[in-house]
Structure 1
Amino acid sequence: MKLVSFSEMLFFFAIFLSIVPAFGREHHFSMAGDMRPEFDLTTFGFTSPGFLFVNISNLKFSTSLNETGVIGFTLDRTDSAGIAPYIENRQDDQCILQESSGKTSAFKSDVVAMVLNFTELSLHLTRHGEKIAELSFYESLEDLFNNHSMEFRPKSTAPMVPPKFVIRDDILSAENTTNSSIGQIRKFDYNPKKLDRVPVSKTKSSDGEITYSFKFVMYVANKTQSGLYNLFFHNCENIKSPSIGVSFDVIIIEKNGGNFLTAFEIYLPTIYLAFSTIYFCCCIVWMMVLRKGENGSVQKIHYLMLLLVAVKSLSLFVHSVDYHFINITGQSHNTWAVLYYITYVIRGLLFFTVLVLIGSGWQLMKHVFSTNEKRLFVLVISLQVVTNIAYVLKENTEEGAQKHELWQQIFILVDLVCCGAVLFPIVWSIRHLQEATKVDGKGTANLVKLRLFRRFYITIVCYIYFTRIVVYLLRILVNFQYRWLDAVSTEAATLAFFIFTAYTFHPDLQNPYIRLSQQEEDSDSEDQIKLRNMGSNSVEHGNEVAEIVSEGDRESPREPGSPNPNWSANIRRKLNNPMSPKQSNMQKTIV
């Protein structure tokens, strides 16, 4: 069976990326026949001033819903990314919206409960918690902008809402979203801090299908109300058994002042650009090291390490530019998004390829793979392809979609399996070196290699543990405003791992690894030379004996077929005479 080459695999993956849409902060998606009792729609870290706009349209149910049915949302505020207490502590057969009606004790955190009333055609809002007791709600973005327009003035001359949203009649008209609308105040007859219901429109089509639509805007006015907000949808009719499918279209806009990035993502463009510069400097330093390397010390694996660092720098740079466009426009630029995914895929494949090659000792201890190492190499590359596909689909699937959680789980699982598979060639090399240390003559050299491999193995385990577990704990435990520390920690750990690996296996004849490998090659060459000399001397010895026998035949003519009685005496006489140089070498060789 013919295996797909790396270039063909990359080509097919590039085609896959070109047909996958790239999302930024434009949350516009649809739910069709969803029977989950609850799911999250969005998560965003707000600072003051900030706003959340939600527009639900074409809300309908697969079966007729009783007017007393409980359908709605919860908007909770937390300081970290952990699970909200009111969701974690509730029982499986209870709906949080049913328990929240008039009971503040039902929630252990700051939560706004939103319940649809199909009789009054309104969305009832109930605030729980001191920090959001005066959280402002507006019925439309127009009301918000006409009263807080200066706070959300964009950094450029672009509209305060991205152009994609301007052309939609169900959000805002163009004349009310441009800078020309600043200063135009429209009076409304409600207090945003005490707004307790939002109107819901009901539409009945010609075929009798009923749909509902509504929208609301949450406004974060001060630091007390700042926090990490999670918007959940609840279908209490499906708590005990899935029976009613829900379908709707949703549009969500999130903004912090003049930025479209969440509070902890605002620093990411600068962070990624800084690390991209550091990796670029490391790439230049490594090029100088390879250029000054002595003959025989620079191997192919060192050039692969150089390529990995260069792609890593390029990937971080593209990622930084992509976040910059999201921050100023609210949308991810398709070109930069696709470039980032391509560089991310190449970076991942190169990273695990280098780990497998170094772990197996390729170009440093041996030049060929064993059968098990070849199979493991194919397995790791295949797992990396699956991991990259899962990552791309996860990033391009909205948080509320069912497939988002599926791809998230696949990504985490396959990534951990791939990290575990990388350790196998190192374990095999350690076991091989442990057995080789018992061989006479090479015990010291193999012992030094064994120490190097053990140190490399421990470093990889620490790197995997830190970037996969410690960083995750850091993400869910620290305050939401400092969640950018997980990106800094991950990149810093990766940089430290790259530096350690480069120092351990740098191309220098004084490096213990390179020096011992060179000594082994020299000893192997000497052994081969001795074997060739022994073979040539054995041939010369055979020629001498043949000459002696032929001389005995010439001295004693005999009848055909009769044995020569003097052949043994001739051989003894020749051997007793002073030896020629050839005979001397032959005797030394035999001895």
Structure 2
Amino acid sequence: MDPAHRYLYLLLLLLTGCRARIHKLTLKNETRFSVDLNTFGFYANGTLDVNLLSLRLPEQVVDYNLYPVGFTLSRSRVNGVLSYTAEETETCPLTLTKVTSNEPLILFLIDIKKLSVNVRALGDQDNLLIAKPEAPKGLRKTREDPAVKPNAPVKPATTKPDNQLTQKGDDAASVEQSRTAPMVEASKVEENEFQLEKLKHVTLALDKVNDSYNFSFHMVVGLLAEGLYSLKFHYCQNRMPGIKFPYSFAVEVTEKNPGGYLSAAEIPLSRLYIGMAGVFFTAAMVWVYTLMKHRYSVFKIHWLMAALAFTKSTSLVFHSINYHFINTEGHPIEGWAVMYYITHLLKGALLFITLALIGTGWAFVKYILSDKEKKIFMIVIPLQVLANVAFIIIESTEEGSSEYYLWKEILFLVDLICCGAILFPVVWSIRHLQEASSTDGKAAMNLEKLKLFRHYYVMIVCYIYFTRIIAILLKVTMPFQWQWCYEFLVEVSTLIFFVLTGYKFRPASNNPYLQLPLDEEDVEMDEVVTESGALEGITKVKKTCNGRDRQKESTL
């Protein structure tokens, strides 16, 4: 298998576990004291289903009354700010008895000795909890202690040999029936509805199968309690310094709003992306029309800018389709997800390559990159590939897995490095123009180019600063249902940046790149910039003061 097919196969493997709104997470030998399972914005009548399939606790003796284990479901004031304060987070959240704010906080404390889950509702609640309550003591039996043990000897058959097979089958069936009888009997306890506005303490049933524990609950969000909720698993013993006790569990989490599986902040994204895709496609068509109109002033990099605009539009289309299927199915369709990730990777690579080429003045000012500029490309392009791989892994990994935060930090760091590295070619071009304006006698023309590069530098800095810092600060301060505005601001700022860049470097006669210098005296001047893209290779121009060409020499 060649490298290209190997990388594509790896991408497909990653996408088989694409993160969706129906979450399935399995952790083995985990030592973290807190696991962030998911964050989701609920509207009124939104539902949350949690099914703990198998919780295996360490064999070491742990005082679970002092160091409890269980789940917390907390509403955030804003994104990333939980309902309990910084002082309260110094201790295990499962030990809280009150909160300083009125934000709803629900604690699920697992008691393995009593085989129960103690639910405590703190703050203002109007949520509805639907779960199986704790069974009476007479019914609280497990598969580990059945009325008839699985390994009990079967009474031999006394019938004729011809009936031995039938008798053995009947005996085996009776053993299996007796093995599952307590569970069937216990399952007759129907699920009850608990209004957490009135009931602050509820006890649910905890089942034990061999050495693993499991329980489930269903919650309906009330009108007053709608907001951004964070579901976490806590093993408080591992908060203490020293030996970390490993534990394992598997959990299924399904979140849903009345309109579909998307979080409140993500519901408008499908329409937003398809609308912005149309805007970028329109801008790309206008750009192509401009290139065709001024075809004799077009350089290769102009077509690269057009390819970037079309790729951006295509990526947004697949992004919109991806969100549509997540909203309707609860998970992405792999084919559409693959197309989105491929176009997203191409868009990211084209963006930074185009910015770097414009910053170096390639095609406009010169056709050969210096060694320093080549090194920038050797650094930025692999880093962009790494950043896109990190993005794909983040999208295909559950939030609760330990790799999720590792790749998230890698993506953030690599993105900052790429944004910083992309500024170096522009700075070098500005310095080169400053030196040239004072040595070659063409100060007026070089100052025009210098002004253009300074504007371009400011544009890049503003774009990076806004999309990486300002928009994120706005996101964490917005109400949960308006956090989609972060994506809107990023896309609009990207569109403005593309339009301004195209306007500054448009193929027109009044572009400072394409203007031939006019001196007051009839002198011969060597000019690096060419008159048009159609005349690449012209490096020497001689003009009179009235602007007419006297001599052109080609170095081809």
Q: Confirm or deny a common fold (TM above 0.5).
A: yes
Q: Distance in 2 between matches of 1:446 and 1:238?
A: 64
CA distance in 1, matches of 2:360, 2:440: 23
The answer as to whether partners of 1:51 and 1:254 remain within 8 angstroms in 2 is: yes
**How far does the alpha carbon of each residue in 1:455-497 deviate from its partner, in whole angstroms, 9 at most, with x for none?**
0000000000000001111111100000000000000000000
Q: Using a 3 Å threshold, how does the CA distance of structure 1 residues 386 and 251 change in structure 2: closer, same or farther?
A: same
Deviation at 1:260, TM superposition (A): 0.6
Contact 1:27 1:252 in 2 (8 A): yes
Contact (CA 8 Å) 1:63, 1:244: kept in 2 or not? Answer: no
Contact 1:107–1:128 (8 Å) recurs in 2? no
Provide the C-alpha distance between the structure 2 equivalents of 1:129 and 1:390, rounded to a whole number of angstroms: 38
**Distance across 2 between alignment mates of 1:107 and 1:530:** 81
Give, in whole Å, the separation in 1 of the partners of 2:324 and 2:270. 6
Q: Secondary structure at the match of 1:512?
A: coil
CA change 1:423–1:261 in 2 (3 A) is: same
Match of 1:548 in 2: none
User: Which residue in the other structure is 1:475 paired with?
Assistant: 475
Give the Cα–Cα distance (whole angstroms) in 2 for the partners of residues 83 and 190 of structure 1: 30
Aligned to 1:60: 56
Contact 1:33 1:61 in 2 (8 A): no
- 1:26, distance to aligned residue in structure 2 (A): 2.0
Pairwise CA distance, 1:58: 1.4
Shift of 1:190: 5.1
Say if 1:523 and 1:249 are closer, same or farther in 2 by CA, change over 3 A: closer
Pair 1:35 & 2:31 matched? yes
**Could you say which residue in structure 1 is the equivalent of 2:131?**
139
Cα deviation for residue 258 of structure 1 reads 3.5
Q: In structure 1, give the amino acid aligned to 2:130.
A: Y
Counterparts of 2:13 and 2:281, CA distance in 1: 31
Q: Distance in 2 between matches of 1:108 and 1:526?
A: 79
1:15 aligns with 2:12: no
1:10, 1:317 → 2: CA distance?
25
Q: Is the Cα contact below 8 Å between 1:325 and 1:331 reproduced in 2?
A: yes
Identity of paired residues, percent?
38
Partner of 2:87: 89
Letter of the 1:104 partner, please give it.
Answer: K
Name the aligned partner's letter for residue 360 of structure 2.
Answer: S
CA distance in 1 between partners of 2:99 and 2:541 (Å): 82
Gaps of 5+ in 1: 1-7, 141-185, 205-209, 533-591
Deviations 1:234-264 (A, max 9, x none): 1111111342112000100000114110111
Structure 2 match to 1:121: 115
What is the Cα deviation at residue 197 of structure 1?
Answer: 1.9
Q: Secondary structure at the match of 2:515?
A: helix
Provide the TM-score with structure 1 as the length reference.
Answer: 0.75
User: d(CA) in 2 for partners of 1:392 and 1:247?
Assistant: 26
Shift of 1:359: 0.1
Q: Is the 8 A contact 1:82 1:477 kept in 2?
A: no
Q: 2:46 aligns with which of 50, 59, 74?
A: 50
User: Aligned-pair distance for 1:135?
Assistant: 1.8
Deviates more, 1:381-390 or 1:83-92: 83-92
Give the drift of 1:202.
1.2
Deviations 1:363-413 (A, max 9, x none): 000000000100111100011011011111111110111111111111001
Aligned residues: 468
CA contact (8 A) 1:53 1:218 kept: yes
Q: Are residues 1:104 and 2:98 paired?
A: yes
Residues 523 and 211 (structure 1 numbering): CA distance in 2 closer, same or farther, change over 3 Å?
A: closer
**CA pair 11-275 structure 1, distance change in 2 beyond 3 A:** farther
- The amino acid of 1:347's aligned partner reads K
**Alpha carbons 2:261, 2:326 under 8 Å: kept:** yes
Q: Higher helix share goes to which structure?
A: 1
Matches within 5 A, 1:435-514: 435-514=435-514
Counterpart contact for 1:263–1:481, Cα < 8 Å: yes
Q: For residues 299 and 37 of structure 1, do their structure 2 counterparts lie closer, same or farther at Cα, with a shift above 3 Å needed?
A: same
Letter aligned with residue 540 of structure 2? D
Aligned partners of 2:34 and 2:235 also within 8 Å: yes
Amino acid at match of 1:494: T
1:217 alignment partner, SS class: strand
- Aligned to 2:509, the other structure's residue is in SS state coil
Are the structure 2 counterparts of residues 106 and 10 from structure 1 closer, same or farther at C-alpha, using a change threshold of 3 Å? farther
Aligned-residue RMSD, C-alpha: 2.4
Residues 111 and 128, structure 1, Cα contact 8 Å, conserved in 2: yes
Alignment match, 1:202: 208
Runs of 5+ unmatched residues, structure 2: 133-188, 517-528, 544-549
Whole-Å Cα distance in 2 between the matches of residues 363 and 329 of structure 1? 48
Q: State the match for 1:575 in structure 2.
A: none
Is residue 540 of structure 2 the alignment partner of residue 524 of structure 1? yes
Query: What does the per-residue CA deviation read over 1:119-138, in whole Å, with 9 as the maximum and x for residues that have no partner?
Result: 221111111112x2x32111
Residues in 2 aligned to 1:91 and 1:23: alpha-carbon distance in whole angstroms: 28
Mapped contact 2:35–2:233 kept (Cα < 8 A): yes
Contact residue 25 and residue 332 of structure 1 kept, 8 A? no
Q: Which moved more, 1:114-123 or 1:77-86?
A: 77-86
Q: What residue identity is the alignment partner of 1:229? A: Y
User: What is the CA distance between 1:39 and its match in structure 2?
Assistant: 2.2
Residue of structure 2 in register with 1:332 after alignment: 332
Larger gyration radius, structure 1 or structure 2: 1
**Partner residue of 1:226?**
226
Q: Which AA in structure 2 matches 1:138?
A: I
Q: Name the SS for the 2:53 alignment partner.
A: strand
Residues in 2 aligned to 1:497 and 1:353: alpha-carbon distance in whole angstroms: 15
Cα distance, 1:110 vs structure 2: 2.1
Contact 1:74 1:232 in 2 (8 A): yes
Q: Give the alignment of 1:403-418 within 5 angstroms.
A: 403-418=403-418
